[in-house]
Amino acid sequence: MTQLNPLEIIKKLPRTNCGKCGYPSCLAFVMALISGNTSPEKCPEAKLEFLTSFSKSPQEDYNWRILEEVKKRARNLSWENLPEKTGGKLTSEGLLFPYLDTEVVINPYRAFRKDGLELDPRDQILLYNYLLHARPESLSGEFVGMESFPHSLSKEKTLRRYAEEKAAQEFSGRLSTLKKALSHFRIDIPRDCPADICAVIWILTKVPLRFQFFEAEPEEGLPAEVKILFDRKALSFLDLESLVFCAERLVERLLEIAKEAD
């Protein structure tokens, strides 16, 4: 299996430390890429051959390598304790719990959707990370911005660029479409809502995201805006990178549902 070489990768980057990838420097982006915490397309300035060279085959793709690593770590867990930690239910197939707008089963050797559709390796990595990070604690019920968590500056930029700004742009002027897309998820509607649409969306059993959509106000020169908030105790269940990925996947799925409905 080909080993990713940081020096070879960074040669293919612009090396301007522009921050468009959500990381403070090109080197930080490369190290996150190698560790499986980000993907090549997050660098909009990279050369095309650099973007495609990571996916020659599943065996060479770093996502698959990271997936195998987290699976190995998960095999050492006490699976009988996972329902309390994750809110899932142990079945003959594995641990069952809802994820986004579907249900998944995860066991020491594989993770799969109950409806039989393919489960992206990135989603599988997230699910195993959930098992590895979750603690037998309760949520706080208080939602805060990404900036409230320590060492989150680069993650704030990634969240804004690949989730909040993307959702704001795509759903501007389409409130009814957004509401229909949200109805596919397990959601709670909060009583206090400073935006045009507010919903607490349960990505995983113990990972809720509060999604707030502010419609554009052309007469005031204000574009549409989205703010995604996290439970104050979110780090008891996932790491920062995984929390940002949850927001990205939520927005991706909302857009997919909206497109299917068009």
Averaged confidence pLDDT in the chain: 88
- How confident is the model at residue 57, as a pLDDT? 42
Q: Which of 239, 242, 235, 212 is nearest to 139 (CA)?
A: 235
pLDDT digits 0-9 by tens, 35-60: 666 777 778 877 635 444 444 443 34
- How confident is the model at residue 61, as a pLDDT? 61
CA dihedral sign, ordered 244, 249, 254, 259: positive
Among 35-39, 74-78, 199-203, which range has the highest average pLDDT? Answer: 199-203
What is the model's pTM?
Answer: 0.77
Please, what is the Cα angle at 66 between 235 and 165, to 5 degrees? 55
Integer angstrom CA distances of residue 163 from 7, 52, 64, 86: 30, 23, 24, 25
**Which of the residue ranges 50-54, 141-145, 215-219, 246-250 would you say has the lowest mean pLDDT?**
50-54
Spatial distance between the Cα atoms of 93 and 72, rounded to a whole number of angstroms:
18
Q: Which of the pair, 261 or 250, is modelled with greater confidence?
A: 250
Q: Which of 9, 227, 217, 205 is nearest to 96 (CA)?
A: 205
- How confident is the model at residue 34, as a pLDDT? 66
DSSP 3-state of 227: strand
Question: What are the structural domain ranges in the chain?
Answer: 6-52, 62-133, 143-261
pLDDT of 2 over the 60 cut = no
DSSP 3-state of 12: coil
pLDDT digits 0-9 by tens, 121-136: 889 999 999 999 999 9
- How confident is the model at residue 15, as a pLDDT? 80
pLDDT digits 0-9 by tens, 138-161: 999 999 999 999 999 989 999 999
Which of 3.40.50.2000, 3.10.20.600, 1.10.15.40, 1.10.8.60 would CATH assign to domain 6-52? 1.10.15.40
- Lateral strand order in the sheet of 111-113: 89-90, 95-99, 102-106, 111-113
pLDDT of 93 over the 90 cut = yes
Spatial distance between the Cα atoms of 169 and 164, rounded to a whole number of angstroms:
9
